[in-house]
Structure 1
């Protein structure tokens, strides 16, 4: 490669492959490269990328010498920085690759090279897997109150003639696992792997263990945790109802072995491994309200279990199993221990138990230093509510050994709550004896937001905290304490909040694969091992229709309705807008077609009819006072809502088809949407008050967002919605999970920040402020606090998290992927909300919006990242002076009192 001077002020940063930083074990033979640009000159404007050059090398040394022996793109004239598909030599399994990128700027000056990045390839061919699935001979007995499986230890000893330089081990487990080499824990991920539909698939994680190995005797240990291995819908004939693992590694003397080099040792799981019961055991049965916790028996502790020195005489052979599972790389960030939480108070109770207040409701792990009597059992109870000792039967236990002292710490389960009650201690714990951690998927934060309003800052941070607590396992659960199911309906309330606040591209890509996996199978409702419930007596795999979807993925169980399965249409479209990634549309297009086909099969006279059982046709869910009014019913209001939502799905599906060039589907779905809209309007419209069906906020919103309302009536129906919010409900929200997501979507699109501000500024029931006034530290499942059996940490009402960024801060997507975005500060007269500031790390780099309103006037600060442009939209009433500057700030239009300017990259103050 030629030498050249590095004179550009732009530097490629944030190198990612398939949205991940230095991923290990990717099984994609054509991965996609991404980066964005940072400028070293904070005063520069209109900086752009005009060309890029990617180098991929087989060794780190070659990359340092600028030798792209695997792929050298040479200079490509393009401003593209995202999803650039690999087009080099065929990638080899079980190999690491190194890459970097440089760019040319708008003046044709060259940047310096980016920092080096790497990735490793997993096993691209299923025939490369030589290992066998192994586990305990003990399988789950669902008749027990607690799981009967003791989490097993597995180990393998072997000798190496040399210190190896290359050793990547690929570990797949059904249930959780931890990996140890010569007594040391490998990696920081906990509760691996990500949750997966184990009727079809198992995910593997690749670990680099070369530095852990040595010449001579070595020991690899794997600790298995029961977890999702006994989830009822995953029961299939060819897979045992017990945690199992499959792992293998070719261990080489050379760091970059040739094709002919034989490995020093080929490690694989098989019958030659050894197995022993660990100290840990699942309490509960991994079912709704029975997630339980963990029982730790200190008498079974053995610090040498994963070391060379252990006594193997009491170990036994594992059982070899033969499940039929697709093996695929995890390809999403793993779970990590995140924020550490310290208790704020410990109180001794009348029964001599100790009640610990952790100060915040959270889902994660707890560590407790305990003192008691030898062989005594201590019970640890978790609660969301101050007045209850235990909620949702979440509890753990610790059995002392002869010392009467020990430490309980989670291993393969987690708790959720604020208060911990410990029973059976002989000595009071100190505050310093107690620690907690949020455990969640390790996606990175993308956004900051703050404003002049204490209430709105509280809503924003509490929504974010709640979202994080729902994300363990590579999907969003409804709640972490009761069900842990991936509801599609709840996803509407969380997905844009997730995308606008975190780097969740890999996360949602994985979750869409989960939806493809469960497609074609009806949902499961009821106790998963009770063969008497409802009509659904067959677990997992009861095909109802090739296009039907269960209401949760990858978890199958739970009730829902058309807007639950409909997430497979809306999520890919929101993702495309956010990341500019067409591949997610292509990958899920057949899934979308199948879903629409299923709905078509349930249609009569242009109306979607009720289908399935009593839990399969839910409309909006958990609006104020919903339990008293009856949610799961056959009322016309549910029929209206679901049909309007179905039209919303069709209109989005038509847009997706248009992007993919599927003209026949595009036209068909748009024609169907128009025909169904006409029928809905004729059947449900109330001309006397310009409403639909029961006149509820939910049905008004669904009809408007789905474009069901005829053009000549839209202004009147919207006015009716405005009246419903401001006058009938006195500024309060009156929708639930799905209706609320649609309401916020509609008002964000219509730029009605005033109506959204009214609903989010309330402090009386029902509102987020009401939660704050009632000492909430997470967002509740219901607008009501004290109805028994409902969660105080839930996905229901997280939709304001997106609005604070694109509504209050005014950072809106323009062209997909933010290559051109919109800055539109709100025109609000609130005495409480006088300023707001947000930063958002988009696919093109860091966007900043900061505005302030005072008696002296209105001010605005904007940062536009290099290689992007912004459309600034300000109302005349802002009275902002925007000086034109050719090539940097250009006037675009003046329509409906909104002045629009195009800004090139740079930092601006108006």
Structure 2
């Protein structure tokens, strides 16, 4: 008898058992991995089950939290399938302290996982009294015109062993900090842009590795930034204040249990250096001859520096950073060096991006190199900057001379594909230039690809439009003298944005600024509001209700919905005050912004939609979303009251804007799209309204005419009412106006206007013509959630209950999408080949899915090569709307069936 066989058998059996056991990974605290600097006193934990088996569900969990190895909270075994946004319920967390947490789970096979690897989170300063630092400003008299960037420095000593050191930093303006010459953190344009007078963020950094025994040096450079720089297109300067200031506090924890605090105070010194000018719109000038070499290092001789001034600025508006900060990402080398007909030297980086160019150069002292930025070239091939309006968007570098020097800006950025180089000494070499893309450090979450290369380029353009405009706030454009958080653009694009990237923290922060800037409930045109009191334009102001609700659907985040509920309600009530007999027919409205207007409109069919009709539709929609939120939050009294209001709003719409036969007073695509999408029409009249919409599209030779407010819903409405073929026709239309027209014209981002470059190669009006403006990229939402069909069910928001309902068409051979959810990656895709259709679906553990197969019955349907009826893990729910509806748990499924 071979005695080794039983041992081998046991080893294999053990291996199989371990493989089958669920693991726990991807731990997150408040949507972030190991965050440093939380001021949320009851943070929420999320984790993922990792198990490749089918139908795996969590049945219970246990969380333990420790501080310095001592227990702080143990949840005990909690019978629950919750693995997202699980709230900490332990002892009060302490300012500045670092905590560790782990979780283990039990699955529906009765097996317990091992404890997860530990995750950490560190608290910020939880009380205003925790701030010991003093605001400091430059001690010298500033140049009021050029305003060179202030430098501030201080030295301090470390004489004991350090176990942990933490820095808390913010500024009026922007800051870059260094310790002993090493940069603190990797974020740029800090502290970010908020409604500064009410909400000023500070950043928290672990700086333990930057300190050394002996003398250390702190060095901080400041820039004017959004706070006091030029901002807005009306020439605002110093909107939040005329000062520039620093607030900094270090906490050093020593091995002997003692602490030391180093703060900004009157002991600091100030001067100016190489950055002689820096503005967001105009760019930056750096004169290397004025560089104070070694000023960020200990031992630097600063006798000629001026002592700083202290200031009593408010600290009550300080809050920890919740969202991901702006960081550097992709790096591009020039794809071409052009000599334009005008004799200009221009670098083509091949991609319209947002960031700046880093250059290497060697020359003589005083040599000056200027980089100018543009998105496009003229029809003749010359450099074009008229659409930047008043923004100069140029960086100038003056050489110190003697050795190779590297230059890049600090407190500005540009939107560009092309860079004109002036004054470069010697031979210009492409290798000496690289463009670096900057955007908020959100996790890429979604992928989408098809058999059509033009649609794939459209998806590329959508994603790059988002990257270029998600710099701490959702901006309308990144290049001209604007770059503002326009509310209409943000609400139109949100659901697409939430597929491409993890935008929950990004928008949670922005929504708090929205609430802070509301004026008696009214919502300004831009957030943060630097344009004044203009407010409540329909489709723009409705961002107050649309994004909180869509965030709830996309992320299952009830806390954010609850936090924004007052803002939502106050907005609705601010509209209600201005209505007449439940009609919102007052005030200024942008309307269906930048809709298509035919030049040869001789028959009166121009796509001009009545602005008050639009307002009534969005008023109803916001009330509906408020009802939805009230229902989720258990506010039954509000839900009932607003349901009555909604009924009156829709009745008023029918009376004012619809004939008895169902014809709308505006016969435009947008009018019918909004009326249908927001259920403004009586049920019996919706079918004929959809027919009118399709006839309108056909009358424009199968082209859309919608603007910012109609476009996001156009294809959704067509699909809802059985016209998916027309939706595909619009998606694949290649001539103006269409989504693919800019693609065919060489676009690498989404344009602001359907015809930013006209068919004859000329440009639209330079006064408003951005080539990086994400609003029309909202079609992405239809491509992901309808074309591929990857969505979330309302009874399991945040992809706890996944919905897969593809709409196959458009002569596509295949289309697929994937999305990183809180529970793991979910995927869906279809392929048409040889008269058969294959569908592949991946469902993460601890979720379930309802899948719609585009067949009428199970005959001929296989899963992984076996008859569907033989797969016990799949439950057939029967036919529905031309689909076979089935239900599955987690796992990967491969369906095959005959094509139609």
Whether the TM-score (by the shorter chain) exceeds 0.5 is yes
Q: Cα–Cα, structure 1 residues 870 and 275, in superposed 2: closer, same or farther, change >3 Å?
A: same
Q: Secondary structure at the match of 2:511?
A: helix
Can you give the 5+ residue segments of structure 2 that lack an aligned partner in the other structure?
1-16, 757-762, 896-900
For residue 106 of structure 1, the aligned residue among 105, 108, 111 is 108
User: What is the deviation of 1:373?
Assistant: 4.7
Structure 2: distance between partners of 1:33 and 1:795 = 32
Can you give the 5+ residue segments of structure 1 that lack an aligned partner in the other structure?
63-67, 521-545
Structure 2: distance between partners of 1:513 and 1:500 = 22
1:607-657: per-residue Cα shift (whole Å, max 9, x none)? 11332xxxx42111111238999xxx9987111111111111111111111
Indicate yes or no: 2:641 matched with 1:668: yes
Q: Cα–Cα, structure 1 residues 114 and 862, in superposed 2: closer, same or farther, change >3 Å?
A: same
User: What is the deviation of 1:795?
Assistant: 2.1
Structure 2: distance between partners of 1:317 and 1:640 = 61
Q: Secondary structure at the match of 2:273?
A: strand
Q: Could you say what the CA RMSD is over the residues aligned between the two structures, in angstroms?
A: 2.6
Structure 2: distance between partners of 1:219 and 1:706 = 60
- Residue matched to 1:798: 777
Indicate yes or no: 2:318 matched with 1:327: yes
- Residue matched to 1:116: 118
Equivalent residues in 2 for 1:354-503, closer than 5 Å: 354-387=345-378, 388-391=383-386, 392=388, 393-403=392-402, 406-503=405-502
Instruction: List 4+ stretches of structure 1 deviating above 6 A.
Output: 138-141, 232-239, 626-629, 633-636
1:448-467: per-residue Cα shift (whole Å, max 9, x none)? 22111111111111111111
Indicate yes or no: 2:676 matched with 1:704: yes
Cα contact 2:140–2:271 (8 A) shared by 1: no
User: What is the deviation of 1:385?
Assistant: 1.8
Q: TM-score of the superposition, structure 1-length normalised?
A: 0.89
Tell me the matched-pair count. Answer: 845
User: What is the deviation of 1:474?
Assistant: 4.4
Equivalent residues in 2 for 1:507-518, closer than 5 Å: 507-518=506-517
For residue 557 of structure 2, the aligned residue among 546, 558, 581 is 581
Cα contact 2:355–2:437 (8 A) shared by 1: yes
User: What is the deviation of 1:901?
Assistant: 0.7
Q: Secondary structure at the match of 1:590?
A: helix
1:5-45: per-residue Cα shift (whole Å, max 9, x none)? 97752211211111111111100110000111121xx4x21
User: What is the deviation of 1:137?
Assistant: 5.3
Structure 1: distance between partners of 2:564 and 2:86 = 20
Cα contact 1:239–1:321 (8 A) shared by 2: no
For residue 598 of structure 1, the aligned residue among 560, 570, 574 is 574
Structure 2: distance between partners of 1:491 and 1:509 = 13
Q: TM-score of the superposition, structure 2-length normalised?
A: 0.90
Structure 1: distance between partners of 2:688 and 2:264 = 68
Structure 2: distance between partners of 1:475 and 1:635 = 27
Structure 1: distance between partners of 2:548 and 2:375 = 34
- Residue matched to 2:89: 87
Structure 2: distance between partners of 1:414 and 1:238 = 20
User: What is the deviation of 1:269?
Assistant: 0.7
Structure 2: distance between partners of 1:499 and 1:431 = 36
User: What is the deviation of 1:349?
Assistant: 5.2
Structure 2: distance between partners of 1:780 and 1:865 = 36
Cα contact 1:460–1:800 (8 A) shared by 2: no
Indicate yes or no: 2:239 matched with 1:248: no
- Residue matched to 1:125: 127
Structure 1: distance between partners of 2:552 and 2:674 = 22
For residue 739 of structure 1, the aligned residue among 704, 707, 710 is 710
For residue 908 of structure 1, the aligned residue among 893, 896, 899 is 893
Structure 2: distance between partners of 1:659 and 1:349 = 60
Q: Secondary structure at the match of 1:189?
A: coil
Q: Secondary structure at the match of 1:798?
A: helix
Structure 1: distance between partners of 2:241 and 2:309 = 10
- Residue matched to 1:48: 57
1:223-258: per-residue Cα shift (whole Å, max 9, x none)? 21221121578999997423322111221212xx7x
Cα contact 1:139–1:240 (8 A) shared by 2: no
Cα contact 1:822–1:870 (8 A) shared by 2: yes
Indicate yes or no: 2:846 matched with 1:867: yes
Structure 2: distance between partners of 1:659 and 1:748 = 28
Q: Secondary structure at the match of 1:302?
A: coil
Q: Cα–Cα, structure 1 residues 627 and 189, in superposed 2: closer, same or farther, change >3 Å?
A: farther
- Residue matched to 1:571: 547
Structure 2: distance between partners of 1:140 and 1:711 = 67
Q: Cα–Cα, structure 1 residues 776 and 346, in superposed 2: closer, same or farther, change >3 Å?
A: same
Cα contact 2:875–2:887 (8 A) shared by 1: yes
Cα contact 2:228–2:237 (8 A) shared by 1: no
Structure 1: distance between partners of 2:238 and 2:187 = 30
User: What is the deviation of 1:112?
Assistant: 2.0
Structure 2: distance between partners of 1:635 and 1:356 = 41
